[in-house]
Structure 1
Amino acid sequence: MYVCNIEPSKPFMIQFLKYLLFPFSLIYKGITSLRNLLFELKVLRTFEPNIATIGVGNLTVGGTGKTPIIDYLISIFPSNKIGIISRGYGRKTQGFLQINSKSTSKDVGDEPFMLYSKNLDTSFFVSEDRVEGFKKAMLIQPNLDIILFDDVFQHRYLKPKINILLSDYSRPFFEDFLLPTGLLRESKSGAKRADIIIVTKCPRHISEIERRLLTDRIKKYTKKDTPIYFAVFQSLPPSNIENAILTKKSKIVLISGLANNLGFKAGLEQNFEIVKHFDYKDHHEFTKEEITEILSLFPNSNFVCTAKDFVKIKPLLNPEFLPSFYISEQKIRIINEIELKKEIFEQLGFIN
């Protein structure tokens, strides 16, 4: 069952630092609240695209599962021409770019490039300015009939038809604090802009009672009729480029550059013996020297990483090492999925 995990058990120094940072959070709250007010008063203008659009975002800094949710949304529109617009976090380029077969993760960012590699029939673009990105994407491909925007909840110059807000089960937004004391990008009241809320990374056997309790707490910050859904992220057995499945209880070496490296490790240590975990910051750009050193330290080993990290590691590997790398992917199971799909289709105007 979900348990409130705020303050008492945390080390004294962390709590002391939070108290020191609290005045800066008040200043940050004033700035972000004023910005939101200017949008509400229409002093700052928003652009509303003239086709079906869905924005996916969160209130907190860090991973809440936006990329897997974007991947899931692509799958529920098999008959539509879909475009994805992302900022392309961590890329070495700037401005608007369309992702193609000549792109690299350095050009467009690891997450967009990974999604592109999995969904070759979908059009992918990166642009810091989502409004400009939308307009340029439609000039290039005017036949697109759905655009999905990644990490756009605070990008208020754009107003998608549907705003989906994600909240991590293990660190829900309603228990967090504004930056820099906590991880909130804006006040909890920002949840009122959400048309749909999905609680991500839920335990496999989350109970109906627990879902109801979480719903009640989230509803304090949302519009009255905002639907709330729950998503379980299930790890699939790691497989390599030859589609070989890694045998349970195998000894493995983990390599990850994620927002939650510990969570990645915890999901695998139940079924495998982890010899070593090389963990890096989120969106880490791996080097040839790093990978060569890891291979030399653990020759003839099985290596496990995420799809996001593999798109950056793969170009650094000699062909003979590729089968030694196994990709750990996740499958999303939405509780009450039929209702979620119906809600999305209705809000987009696809069904009456």
Structure 2
Amino acid sequence: MQSVLAFLLLPFSWLYAAVMAVRNWLYDAGWRKSETFAVPLINVGNLRVGGTGKTPHVTWLLEELLRQGHRPAVLSRGYGRRTTGPRLATAADSAATVGDEPWQYYQHFSAHRVPVAVAEKRGLGVRLLQQTHPEVSVIVLDDAYQHRAVRPTLNVLLTELARPFYQDHVLPAGRLRERRSGARRADVIIVTKCPLDLSVEAKAAVEQRIRAYCRPAVPVLFSSYEYGAPQPLPHVAEGVSPLLPSDTLAKPPARPAVLLTGIAQPGPLRDYLESQGYFIQYHAVLPDHHVFQPADLTALRAHWQPGWPIFTTEKDATRLLAPVLAAALAGLPFYTIPVRVAFRGGDDAVLRQLLSGVLAARRN
């Protein structure tokens, strides 16, 4: 049924793809201007709507830039926020005012003095960061691949191994925001959410498919997720005991648990939890960027039993901590699962060298 619906929607996809192709041509031909800035801009984006792993990859880049001695900032659109216009995140903000992903960056990097800004028009956001933080030496743009009004110094394109852009169609028949040929704007392509045991042959096959759409010299890298130990949800952690390390869990029987997600692709997290000896008794699957309501937690509580941990993501946690949810959260043992990016086979060295080269070139 789904394939039949996709077939019926193809004419609308062709129309949407044509509109986007004309828009991109206007930028490529110079009829529409892309603004450039003295400060280097590193863009992390995708061709597909949602779920490619932008947030952990932005986090990896920010950590690497700090390690190299740079003064990075991060700029996002701030999807789902209740405010508009350029805005600099402060301790008085929340996921509601700047968006869940920017608030997650702020919480993670505020101790490192990494400014976080949001703006629908990225040019205005860059100028806000330059005015308020002149010490910033590089800005990471979160999800601006189709935002052609600003020209990045380095374009990082992500594509998920399980749902690669070369097997997808443009909206609404598929999930692509533009045609596959948009990959030619990428300076590096990262295949995300790869299993740790992905074979050399499988990598070569994926890379061959990608190279049909990108420029010849563009590096194609592969990354995986690494999950950290469960952490009690901040501010509601009182009375929530730490969980035992996964290697001490009894298998069998599996330990019952509940999962709550409002992200685009919750499958990898569920698979990880099950691999760690948990049996997911109930999984509340909500849309990406879902604004949690007390009723959501009331419904979740009906499927939970005392002694069962409730897992969620770091991104979801930024929205669960809204004051309106405090009463509904009371007594629920929520834990977040930290997610970090890991590269295999020396791909991290390739990306580090690429970053160093691009930023050194801009200084000279």
How many residue pairs get aligned? The number is 340
| Distance in 2 (alpha carbons) for counterparts of 1:21 and 1:279 | 26
Check if 1:90 corresponds to 2:80.
Answer: yes
Structure 2 CA distance for partners of 1:320 and 1:92, relative to 1, 3 Å: closer
Contact (CA 8 Å) 2:76, 2:142: kept in 1 or not?
A: yes
User: Which one is further off, 335-344 or 166-175?
Assistant: 335-344
Residue deviations 1:192-219 (CA, integer Å, cap 9, x gap): 1101111000011111221111111111
Check if 1:50 corresponds to 2:61.
Answer: no
The residue that corresponds to 1:311 in the other structure is 318
- Cα offset, 1:102, TM superposition: 0.6
**Which amino acid in 1 is paired with 2:359?**
L
User: Which one is further off, 176-185 or 238-247?
Assistant: 238-247
Q: Find the residue that maps to 1:349 and give its secondary structure.
A: helix
| Distance in 2 (alpha carbons) for counterparts of 1:170 and 1:320 | 34
| Distance in 1 (alpha carbons) for counterparts of 2:175 and 2:331 | 37
- Cα offset, 1:263, TM superposition: 3.4
| Distance in 2 (alpha carbons) for counterparts of 1:154 and 1:69 | 18
Contact (CA 8 Å) 2:41, 2:140: kept in 1 or not?
A: yes
| Distance in 1 (alpha carbons) for counterparts of 2:171 and 2:92 | 38
| Distance in 2 (alpha carbons) for counterparts of 1:49 and 1:118 | 26
The residue that corresponds to 2:341 in the other structure is 332
Q: Among residues 229, 232, 242, which one is paired with 1:244 in the alignment? A: 242
The residue that corresponds to 1:6 in the other structure is none
- Cα offset, 1:297, TM superposition: 4.9
Check if 1:173 corresponds to 2:161.
Answer: no
Contact (CA 8 Å) 2:294, 2:328: kept in 1 or not?
A: no
User: Which one is further off, 121-130 or 316-325?
Assistant: 316-325
The residue that corresponds to 2:260 in the other structure is 255
Counting aligned pairs with the same residue, the percent is: 31
| Distance in 1 (alpha carbons) for counterparts of 2:286 and 2:329 | 25
The residue that corresponds to 1:210 in the other structure is 202
- Cα offset, 1:322, TM superposition: 7.2
Residue deviations 1:234-255 (CA, integer Å, cap 9, x gap): 2223222569244534321111
- Cα offset, 1:279, TM superposition: 1.3
**Which amino acid in 2 is paired with 1:304?**
F
The residue that corresponds to 1:63 in the other structure is 51
Check if 1:72 corresponds to 2:60.
Answer: yes
The residue that corresponds to 2:279 in the other structure is 273
The residue that corresponds to 1:5 in the other structure is none
Contact (CA 8 Å) 1:162, 1:348: kept in 2 or not?
A: no
Contact (CA 8 Å) 1:291, 1:313: kept in 2 or not?
A: no
- Cα offset, 1:162, TM superposition: 0.2
The residue that corresponds to 1:191 in the other structure is 183
Contact (CA 8 Å) 1:194, 1:226: kept in 2 or not?
A: yes
Give the gaps of 5 or more residues in structure 1: 1-12
- Cα offset, 1:223, TM superposition: 0.8
The residue that corresponds to 1:26 in the other structure is 14
Contact (CA 8 Å) 1:176, 1:183: kept in 2 or not?
A: yes
Contact (CA 8 Å) 1:239, 1:246: kept in 2 or not?
A: no
The residue that corresponds to 1:106 in the other structure is 96
The residue that corresponds to 2:109 in the other structure is 119
Contact (CA 8 Å) 2:298, 2:328: kept in 1 or not?
A: no
Contact (CA 8 Å) 1:239, 1:328: kept in 2 or not?
A: yes
**Which amino acid in 2 is paired with 1:68?**
P
TM-score by length of 1: 0.91
| Distance in 1 (alpha carbons) for counterparts of 2:331 and 2:71 | 33
**Which amino acid in 2 is paired with 1:305?**
T
| Distance in 1 (alpha carbons) for counterparts of 2:187 and 2:355 | 9
The residue that corresponds to 2:304 in the other structure is 298
Give the alignment's Cα RMSD to 1 decimal. 2.0
The residue that corresponds to 1:283 in the other structure is 289
Q: Among residues 197, 201, 211, which one is paired with 2:193 in the alignment? A: 201
- Cα offset, 1:296, TM superposition: 5.7
- Cα offset, 1:264, TM superposition: 2.8
| Distance in 2 (alpha carbons) for counterparts of 1:286 and 1:319 | 11
